[in-house]
Structure 1
Amino acid sequence: MRINFVIFGMNLTGGTRVVAEIINHLAERGHQMSVVTFGSPKDLRWIDLKAKVYYANRSLTQKIFGYLYRQAFGFQPWPEEETRQLIEFMPDCDINVATISYSGYAVNRSGKGVPFHYNMHYEPLVREEGYKKKIIEESYFLPTKKIVNSSWLAKQIKERVGRDVTGLVFPAIDHGIFYPRKEKPSTRRGRKIRIVSLAKYKWWKGLPDALKAIQIVRDRGYDIDFQTFGRIFDRNALPEEVRDIEFTFVGSRVNEQLAEFYSEADMLISASYFESFPLPPLEAMACGTPVVTTVYGTEDYAFDRKNALVVEPQKPEQMAEAIIELIGSESLYNQLREEGIKTAKSFTWEKAADRMEEIFKKAIEKNA
């Protein structure tokens, strides 16, 4: 099959990693893969992408015209300008896949291939009110076939859009990178406890709640070394009430560095208000690091008191209690460690490619 993906940017994020891994595994099966994106080849330094990449960047003349248009009329014709640009560079294909709400318009209007949208979040939930949010919401009503990455997202689309999804394709992790590297100390009582978390300051990621939970645990007498990771983080963007809570931001961690980071921690916490199959908790599980996470979007792999401790979002006291329980119970800690490793092993890129390939083949057969 000739399979094209439309991706606004290829810098490393959780979403681009998922799409890139699926592309590579489909390419290994002999499919002709292509990508239409904005940006430049340097954005792909983090992966050897097995696809022909079309860069739909505007020329200098187009950029000047766009600037003059904004000056004259006070707004940019967005996303129409980007949509036309993506369609212009889009190759002929059998399957055409949008990967973010904006790219859905280009896939739908291009007339090339069977139109799909691989949804990785219900994006209107994480946008402020306004013009852009309306454009995002409308994209979910386009006649593209919806593939989702989590059961939570399938439910959101059913309830909010009134549509059943075409298929469910879970993301995965690279088990050659994320695996148990060392045994955890036999006891956590009476010593410094290292807790880690992703630091991505978007309001729905819940980092302020994670910081509040850490402070509650410290106030109970526990010595906590809280370390966060991510690409870019501005401490001044935090609400003033949590800005002085002590933590260390270690910067970006990728692949082996990230796996080592997880392995050296006693636990990972995730305080997001809602996610759609977030990778950090699953990556930590694979490394043998127990997880405390919020519930929405992790239901496909995080099961309370079996392989993780699952709490309600926006309740730092509840998260703090879970952390304290995990510190104090060796049997629970070892259970979550062992069951987390087992759970993570079941999510492979081969399975993700199998499912995606199956969905695409059925769509082509139906359209024949």
Structure 2
Amino acid sequence: MKIAALLPHVEIFGGIRRYLEIGNELAKRGYYFVLFHPDGSKPGWLEFKGITKSFSSLGEEDFDIGLCSEYSILPYFEKLNATAKIFYFLLKGHKQEKETIKKNYFFLGNSEGLCRHLEKKYNISCSRAPGGVNPQFFFPAKERESERSEFIVLCYGRIYKQRKGIQHVIRAVEGLYKEYPRLKLVFFDSLVGEDRRDPRPMINTRVPYEFHLNLPQSKMAWLYSQGDIFVSAERRAGWSNTTAEAMACQIPVVCSRSGTRDFAFHNQTALVVPFPHPLFLRYQIKKLLKDEELRLRIARAGYEKMQKFSWSALADRLERILKELVKLN
């Protein structure tokens, strides 16, 4: 089977990781997997076992399956010669969502919540193809010393993306800081995009904090192990990569429902807020602050849940879906 996927770039984004990991799994199984993006270079931050080509090569060969998730490059996707084309939804509520649904594509969604949204709103069929976590990079690292003065709240740091909800996490922790002065925030991100926008100047809080920037993948388990808890307040997410990664590193999680419905179950594998608002987040953070046994139980259950979400398991599911599409066409 010949499979092609189109991406807008190969920088450090969750949606990009998904395609690199899927491509690696399918290439290992002997499939011909080509990743097209503007300049055709190999990604520098994660090994890729498939083939990369530039958009200028589109139309030079035929494929059985074409995959795309990015609205801005749909004109290029139209140029791809593929027997069956799949739009793989990664984000809820994009302004081009309705227009894309009308195209002669098959549809995948990267989470249960996103697929339900699409099926209910547009009366379409959307196959479930949730995310995964690579245990080579995300695993329970060496435990920190039990006797320490700080209680660290770990949070993704791309604050200029409002839907990530970073400000809500900051406000929630600030609301607890007077009562719990040992609280500390730890953020992380990588510089991406043409402007390499730095999120650090946008962090404004009286809570002590540090910011890790451009860490290599080999340091991610270490990073997550620094946190006593991880907090996410995303909106419109398909699959919340950082929340899944924290759970895979056995860190207790407070999160919104957005992008986590497949693996975050309230008071079982995580503490889940009904809406990403500082008041709701603060209440759940305080519960974990006060109760070490709860932290340990949530962390263990979250870790066990994430063992079911490997990229290999996703490749198994995709393999079945793609083979059926090839038969139909």
Global fold match (TM > 0.5)? yes
The answer for unaligned runs of 5 or more in structure 1 is: 58-85, 125-132
Q: Which amino acid aligns with 1:333?
A: R
Name the residue aligned to 1:172: 132
2:262 & 2:316 partners in 1: Cα distance?
18
Report SS of the residue matched to 2:323.
helix
1:97 is the counterpart of 2:67? yes
% identity of equivalent residues? 23
Match of 1:363 among 291, 314, 325: 325
Higher mean C-alpha deviation, range 250-259 or range 315-324: 250-259
Alignment of 1:232-247 (within 5 A): 232=191, 233-237=198-202, 246-247=208-209
Q: Which amino acid aligns with 1:312?
A: P
The answer to whether the 8 A contact 2:157-2:199 is kept is no
Q: Which amino acid aligns with 1:107?
A: F
Name the residue aligned to 2:50: 51
* CA deviation profile, 1:26-82 (whole Å, cap 9, x unmatched): 0111111112111352x611123222221126xxxxxxxxxxxxxxxxxxxxxxxxx
Alignment of 1:328-343 (within 5 A): 328-343=290-305
Name the residue aligned to 1:273: 235
Q: Which amino acid aligns with 1:34?
A: V
The answer to whether the 8 A contact 1:236-1:243 is kept is no
Q: TM-score, with normalisation over the residues of structure 2?
A: 0.91
Name the residue aligned to 1:306: 268
Report SS of the residue matched to 1:268.
strand
Deviation at 1:244, TM superposition (A): 5.6
Q: Which amino acid aligns with 2:84?
A: V
1:196 is the counterpart of 2:193? no
Q: In 2 relative to 1, CA 254–340 (structure 1 residues): closer, same or farther, beyond 3 Å?
A: farther
Alignment of 1:57-206 (within 5 A): 88-89=58-59, 91-108=61-78, 110-124=80-94, 133=95, 135=96, 137-165=98-126, 167-183=127-143, 191-200=149-158, 201-206=160-165
C-alpha RMSD of the superposition:
2.1
2:144 & 2:273 partners in 1: Cα distance?
24
1:197 & 1:361 partners in 2: Cα distance?
39
1:220 & 1:163 partners in 2: Cα distance?
50
Report SS of the residue matched to 1:297.
coil
The answer to whether the 8 A contact 1:104-1:144 is kept is no
The answer for unaligned runs of 5 or more in structure 2 is: 192-197
Q: In 2 relative to 1, CA 244–221 (structure 1 residues): closer, same or farther, beyond 3 Å?
A: closer
Deviation at 1:331, TM superposition (A): 1.9
Deviation at 1:359, TM superposition (A): 0.5
Report SS of the residue matched to 2:85.
strand
The answer to whether the 8 A contact 2:4-2:67 is kept is yes
2:231 & 2:147 partners in 1: Cα distance?
19
Alignment of 1:341-356 (within 5 A): 341-356=303-318
1:183 & 1:349 partners in 2: Cα distance?
26
2:132 & 2:234 partners in 1: Cα distance?
20
2:161 & 2:69 partners in 1: Cα distance?
20
Q: In 2 relative to 1, CA 168–254 (structure 1 residues): closer, same or farther, beyond 3 Å?
A: farther
Report SS of the residue matched to 1:16.
helix
Deviation at 1:182, TM superposition (A): 2.7
Name the residue aligned to 1:11: 11
Structure (1/2) with the larger helix percentage = 1
Name the residue aligned to 2:224: 262
1:164 & 1:325 partners in 2: Cα distance?
40
* CA deviation profile, 1:95-152 (whole Å, cap 9, x unmatched): 111121233444345442211112111251xxxxxxxx3x454123212100111011
Name the residue aligned to 1:26: 26
Q: Which amino acid aligns with 1:285?
A: M
1:337 & 1:245 partners in 2: Cα distance?
25
Report SS of the residue matched to 2:49.
coil
Bigger relative CO (Cα 8 Å, ≥ 6 apart): 2
Q: Which amino acid aligns with 2:70?
A: I
Deviation at 1:248, TM superposition (A): 2.0
2:287 & 2:322 partners in 1: Cα distance?
46
1:231 & 1:24 partners in 2: Cα distance?
22
* CA deviation profile, 1:243-268 (whole Å, cap 9, x unmatched): 66543221123422111010121011
The answer to whether the 8 A contact 1:3-1:32 is kept is yes
Q: Which amino acid aligns with 1:198?
A: Y
